[in-house]
Structure 1
Amino acid sequence: MRKFAYCKVVLATSLVWVMLDMFILLYFSECNKCDDKKERGLPGRDDGLSRPRDGPGEGGKPVVIPKENQEKMKEMFKINQFNLMASEMIALNRSLPDVRLEGCKNKLYPDNLPRTSVVIVFHNEAWSTLLRTVHSVIDRSPHTLLEEIVLVDDASERDFLKRPLEQYVRKLEVPVRVVRMEQRSGLIRARLKGASISTGQVITFLDAHCECTTGWLEPLLARIKQDKKTVVCPIIDVISDDTFEYMAGSDMTYGGFNWKLNFRWYPVPQREMDRRKGDRTLPVRTPTMAGGLFSIDRDYFQVIGTYDAGMDIWGGENLEISFRVSERSQYFNNLDRLQAVLHVNAWVSVFASPGVTKVDYGDISTRSALRQKLQCKPFSWYLENVYPDSQIPRHYYSLGEIRNVETNQCLDNMARKENEKVGIFNCHGMGGNQVFSYTANKEIRTDDLCLDVSKLNGPVMMLKCHHLKGNQLWEYDPVKLTLVHVNSNQCLDKASEEDSQVPSVRDCTHSRSQQWLLRNVTLPEVF
């Protein structure tokens, strides 16, 4: 009997300890979840997807932060360089307006479009913007066209982008894979990693902080189905980094670049509008793409050599791949909507960007060999046939610095803009702001701006080149070394005492201060 009672006591004690252990385990398990959310400082899944449809940011409307939270907002802004507080107030699946043209809404697409893998690279991205990108892809794409979403983590350090992210995307209705780079590798190599493990016939590259709108995917895939050698880019709208307001972009712009190979948006030229015969629902042929957002057939991506893995960060990859595609007689197409040291010397040959000759851009022999293998046309063909509207001067007498004989200073655009005075500064020999062309039209140009004088004794302004001569016509005398402004019959002179960083125009006196050396000048021959 005593033995039986003893066993009961032991059993009861054991049960108490087991229950206590379970309580402690559950308690700390819940605490870990709480700590995880605290560490992220971000909304959980349920909170992010169940807000009212008139909530903050719905319909793409701006989020206004109350005055009492302004200081905290500014501190949070520093984390990702956008208004993180506003982003966290917005649902991960917020609504956006459908700004498509009526003709686009009524277009019909084939049923058997190719399936795509969407590749998104991120590094320390905010939880809200990354997941809002993912949800916009899932919510506004036919699932029959989505092979998968591949998230490539370029060595992020934030804990919420590790296990919590993997657990979150595992529950989504479209396959989402998270791939980790072992070390920080840069956008290009991370994209190449994502492309290599993806399985869709089409690869679509997106940035980690964009939102797809209704009908964004079908037109991209339809163009590739029609021609696998077409690379298709969406129209890029704008999301304010301050209020997260969605603002529709123009469908009447396309991608180009200036002579320093900086990407720029330009109005669609009249020749392209004529080709489309006024139908704005047709894609725009564009000489370059913006960079981060495009779709391409998997096999064709391999044929053209994918990305240049020698590029460490973003910037220039869009031009490099644009040249390869276009010089093989293909075109980029710009249609429908989405928000959101260069190796180009291997492609531009004799038209190398003015001023880059002193830049050590590394070994580009592999890319040069690729150009030969692909039998690409010369860059001059690209300028004449694909991008005839380019601001790059194809015919000029001189390209480089313009140096004053007396002061040994050079003309310098000082990074100023249109309608500002041209500058003059100590010559540094590194090109950049001191690269000017004396064109076959006898203009003095820096990019798409020409030196312009509208009255006697100046000032010398930088205005858009109009190619009508007039106030922008200059005559260079290779013997006297003078630059004569034809309309005023005055000579370009050194800076005045009133402003030591601005050249002047004065009556010609044949003084050394009015003599200028043009780099590699070739007169009168045009090349």
Structure 2
Amino acid sequence: MRRFVYCKVVLTTSLVWVLVDVFLLLYFSECNKCDDRKDRSLLPALRAVISRSHEGPGEMGKAVNIPKDDQEKMKELFKINQFNLMASDMIALNRSLPDVRLDGCKTKVYPDDLPNTSIVIVFHNEAWSTLLRTVHSVINLDDASERDFLKKKLENYARTLEVPVRILRMEQRSGLIRARLRGAAATKGQVITFLDAHCECTVGWLEPLLARIKEDRTAVVCPIIDVISDETFEYMAGSDMTYGGFNWKLNFRWYPVPQREMDRRKGDRTLPVRTPTMAGGLFSIDKTYFEEIGSYDPGMDIWGGENLEMSFRIWQCGGSLEIVTCSHVGHVFRKATPYSFPGGTGQVINKNNRRLAEVWMDDFKDFFYIISPGVMRVDYGDVSSRKALREALKCKPFSWYLENIYPDSQIPRRYYSLGEIRNVETNQCVDNMGRKENEKVGFFNCHGMGGNQVFSYTADKEIRTDDLCLDVSRLNGPVVMLKCHHMKGNQMFEYDAERLTLLHVNSNQCLDMPSEEDKMVPTLRDCNGSRSQQWLLRNMTLSI
């Protein structure tokens, strides 16, 4: 009997210490840096952790697979938000997620006096379940949603939460950019954290962002963006070995972190990565600094281009842009947008891109205009106030940005020509034909309209079209397009301006017109001085 009582005491004591440990973990979690700390209640969060089962659909970030009998209904619901709404609705609003941080991140200790933050989420006709999984001590900004459940029902639900949530509503559809501007103006925190409306935050995501801003208020910081599958809502860790860049069309792209950045960090992958650009959906910024550097360009419409505009501005005007590798936030990546753009998607994005090109890119904007000639017809409005901002902030030129921040940019800093490559014998041009990486380059009638017939012969002796370079790996070709690797080798061509030849250095052969076997693809042959091996590299002129 005495042994039984002794065992009960031991078990009870153990359980008490487990509960204390959980309570302490919650108390020192990222939640303690949100607005209105005094109003925060930990006991409901403690109860939720204790009672939560990891056996439900999607728990620990696992995939949710819909039974065959429900596949048709699933496909119909998918069209509403362009993700698997049925799967999302099956998952708990506070589901558990795996800790995907690097081991070195899990042992980091952050200061107690981190700045507080207001979290701003803009939503437009968002799904109920994805929006509420994102909500956590935030300002929610409704960009004129039309769905009933995002009106009174959402406001009633927000009032039941243990953390303060404000819902602001735009009177009419204004788009992400202007909605974020309104949300930012309403914040009270020292730091503004922007999130998209279909995110999930993992353990310890916020402290690393705030700690970096505490060190340097001009640092604009982004988490690693993990992938939440639009098909199954499986949570998949993002890579700490990629950073943001862009191509000639001003499309944001992920590229491998270069060796120079690894060397700067001395191989410590837990240190922030200096990134040339950001994806734009998820980042934290000191509120005062956000206002000092010009917030968002209010002349931009809806969405698109604002991330590159802010990226260029931050770097050129004295700030820094970083990916904090110890912070992970999941994001549902969709293959298509469910939203309409007033005036059409292309029109809106082209206008925004023209604004950023005119203000920040100096003469390098020609790469954008030549490869996207249709953009020249788009009215981009008045940018005089943004140019005045650049002048007032004493911002550096775009050439400085390419030289110091993005030396491996897809836009070459120095180049011999930017335009067509015309064959003397046939009077036809090298053409990328809209083909993708690892496909053969084409050959077509010269049209003088830029686009697919724009190539740059660079100072590094590459023949580049956007982020692809002509590459030849064996004698006599074929000539294919591969990602530019900046290592010369198979991508090195020497142009002789007198003989008009393009010599492929590794093979010691010359670029030649297509063969009879494939009349649409230029080839390599032994150099013989013929007109078919002569090429005119012409700079295109722009009519603005």
Into which bin does the TM-score normalised by the smaller protein fall?
0.7 to 0.9
Residue of 346, 362, 370 corresponding to 1:349: 362
Shift of 1:205: 0.4
Cα 1:88/1:348, change in 2 over 3 Å? same
Q: Which amino acid aligns with 1:315?
A: G
1:494-513 equivalent positions in 2, closer than 5 A: 494-506=513-525, 513=532
* 1:211 has 2:212 as partner: no
In structure 1, what is the Cα distance between the partners aligned to 2:187 and 2:492? 56
| TM-score using structure 2 length | 0.79
Residue of 422, 437, 448 corresponding to 2:456: 437
Partner in structure 1 of residue 72 of structure 2: 71
In structure 2, what is the Cα distance between the partners aligned to 1:449 and 1:479? 27
Write out per-residue CA displacement over residues 298-345 of structure 1, whole angstroms, 9 at most, x where no aligned residue. Answer: 111111101112222333211111111111232112111111121321
Residue of 228, 231, 238 corresponding to 2:220: 231
Cα 1:404/1:365, change in 2 over 3 Å? farther
Cα 1:75/1:519, change in 2 over 3 Å? same
Shift of 1:98: 1.2
In structure 2, what is the Cα distance between the partners aligned to 1:504 and 1:275? 41
Write out per-residue CA displacement over residues 450-481 of structure 1, whole angstroms, 9 at most, x where no aligned residue. Answer: 21233443221123444554543333344554
Cα 1:476/1:199, change in 2 over 3 Å? same
State the SS of the aligned residue for 1:403: strand
Residue of 369, 376, 388 corresponding to 2:388: 369
Write out per-residue CA displacement over residues 122-176 of structure 1, whole angstroms, 9 at most, x where no aligned residue. Answer: 1111111111111xxx3xxxxxxxxx51111112221111111111112212221
Partner in structure 1 of residue 83 of structure 2: 82
Shift of 1:353: 5.2
Task: Check conservation: 1:231, 1:331, Cα contact below 8 A.
Answer: yes
Shift of 1:370: 1.4
For structure 2, which runs of at least 5 residues remain unmatched after alignment?
A: 1-47, 332-349
Q: Which amino acid aligns with 1:87?
A: S
Cα 1:355/1:218, change in 2 over 3 Å? closer
Cα 1:427/1:168, change in 2 over 3 Å? farther
Write out per-residue CA displacement over residues 193-236 of structure 1, whole angstroms, 9 at most, x where no aligned residue. Answer: 11112222211100000100111111111111222111111111
Partner in structure 1 of residue 406 of structure 2: 387
Shift of 1:372: 1.0
Shift of 1:484: 3.8
Cα 1:428/1:297, change in 2 over 3 Å? farther
In structure 2, what is the Cα distance between the partners aligned to 1:125 and 1:312? 19
In structure 1, what is the Cα distance between the partners aligned to 2:487 and 2:224? 34
Q: Please say which of residues 500-509 and 198-207 is displaced more in the overlay.
A: 500-509
| TM-score using structure 1 length | 0.81
Residue of 329, 333, 343 corresponding to 1:338: 329
Task: Check conservation: 2:514, 2:521, Cα contact below 8 A.
Answer: yes
Partner in structure 1 of residue 24 of structure 2: none
* 1:459 has 2:481 as partner: no
**Identical-residue share of aligned pairs (%):** 75
In structure 2, what is the Cα distance between the partners aligned to 1:75 and 1:271? 48
State the SS of the aligned residue for 1:450: strand
Write out per-residue CA displacement over residues 369-418 of structure 1, whole angstroms, 9 at most, x where no aligned residue. Answer: 21111100111111222222323211211012223456554322233333
Partner in structure 2 of residue 116 of structure 1: 117
Q: Please say which of residues 374-383 and 481-490 is displaced more in the overlay.
A: 481-490
Partner in structure 2 of residue 246 of structure 1: 235
Shift of 1:486: 4.5
State the SS of the aligned residue for 1:300: helix
Cα 1:77/1:409, change in 2 over 3 Å? farther
> What RMSD in Å do the two structures reach over aligned CA positions?
2.6
Task: Check conservation: 2:141, 2:180, Cα contact below 8 A.
Answer: yes
State the SS of the aligned residue for 2:418: strand
Q: Which amino acid aligns with 1:351?
A: F
Partner in structure 2 of residue 18 of structure 1: none
In structure 2, what is the Cα distance between the partners aligned to 1:191 and 1:372? 25
In structure 1, what is the Cα distance between the partners aligned to 2:386 and 2:257? 31
For structure 1, which runs of at least 5 residues remain unmatched after alignment?
A: 1-47, 139-147, 522-527
Task: Check conservation: 2:457, 2:464, Cα contact below 8 A.
Answer: yes
Shift of 1:505: 3.4
Partner in structure 1 of residue 104 of structure 2: 103
In structure 2, what is the Cα distance between the partners aligned to 1:131 and 1:221? 23
* 1:279 has 2:268 as partner: yes
